[in-house]
Each structure stands twice: as C-alpha cells, then as structure tokens.
Amino acid sequence: MLVFVDANIVLFAVPKTGSTAYHMALRGKADISLANKAGLKHMTARKYDRDFGPYLAQAHGLTPERVAVMRDPLEQLRSWYRYRQDPKRKGAGNSAAGLSFDDFVLAAIADKPPPFARVGSQFAFVTDDAGQVRIDHLFAYEKQPVFRRFLEDRLGKSIDAKEKNVSPPAPTPLSAGVEARLRAARADDFTLHQAIMDAGGHLVTPLA
C-alpha cells in the first residue's frame, strides 16, 4: 500500500494483479509506503476502513481517494496456481505441486480452502462486510494503459513499471464443469470485473 499526499491517492495492492511492479516503481516517491510485510502491503479495504484510514484522517488530516486494480477472476486464479506450482515451493505448507488446475480451483472455492488454496476473493478485498465497494477508482488489469495514464496524471510524472513476481509457466486447462462452479461461486467477482471492463477499464465508485 502506498500513500501519495499531493496526488491525494492511496494505492491498494490486490494480490496477483501486477501490484508489485507499480509498488517497486513508485514506493520511493510515496509519502507512506507499506511494502515489506504482506499483511500491510496487501491491506484490504475492510482493514483500511477499520484501522489505517481513521489513523490517516486523525493523525495527518488525510482522506485520500482509494485506487485498486482487479483482474479477470479466472486469470488471477491461474496466476495463483502457477505461483503455488513453482518447484521452489515444494515442501512448503502452501505448495500446490502435483495438483491439476481443476483441483486447485475446486479447493479455492471450497467452504474451508486448504492452505495452498487460501487465495481470497478480489471482491471481498475491495468491499465491506455488506458487499459495498470501498474503492473510489477500480481499474482492470487488462487495461494497463488506462491505469498508467491515471497514475501519471495524478503524480505528474511518467512511470516505468517492470514486471515483478511473474509466476512460472504451467499448463492450466480447466474443465467446463469446474469453470461453471467457479463462476457461480465467485459471481460477485466476475460481475464487478465485467463492470470495470464495461467502463473502459476505469470504474469510478466515489465513496460518500
């Protein structure tokens, strides 16, 4: 998570949406950078509402607009799967080595996902307990130029964001039946992502 005072924005880091590249490129320019601890870097909108947002307002008089990127839910799961398939993770408690993508998806949408499939929901990341979006500016991962232009306009400088934490290649075929179950289980994710795409890659949902 990065806070830019003059630009009046806070940049959330939704996992597996290319956030690391932008955080690496911009953290030196941020006024506040929470980039080293995963729990802080990937702070959800709910935790921000509960803890960090009130702190910024009370301690610094800041109420920055919130910015986040969302990725096609199926492609985000593919990225998670490739990451957890990495041979270097063998032996780790959250390795998915040896599992098919079908098995990984079914585990991810289970009521109690095993450690290797605890990847969360993008919709849950950007909403509150009532399912209300708590981000002012949502961008589609698939529309990088739109996101980059927004940041460059706000920050007043060009951005050179190089890919980071790219998951290693791995085949990710998905059966039609499992995909249907995924789309039913993560309907809110797919609907919100489609709304962002329908808005040209930038969905403005200003908070009251």
pLDDT at 74 (0 to 100) = 97
pLDDT at 87 (0 to 100) = 64
Count of domains for the chain: 1
Residue 53 structural domain: 2-204
Q: What is the CATH number of the domain that holds 20?
A: 3.40.50
Each residue's pLDDT tens digit, 9-34: 999 999 999 888 888 889 889 999 99
pLDDT band at residue 45 under the 50/70/90 scheme: very high
Residue 158 phi, psi (nearest 5): -75, 155
Q: Tell me how crowded residue 91 is: count the other CB atoms within 10 A of its CB.
A: 7
pLDDT at 89 over 90: no
State mean pLDDT over 43-68: 96
pTM of the model: 0.92
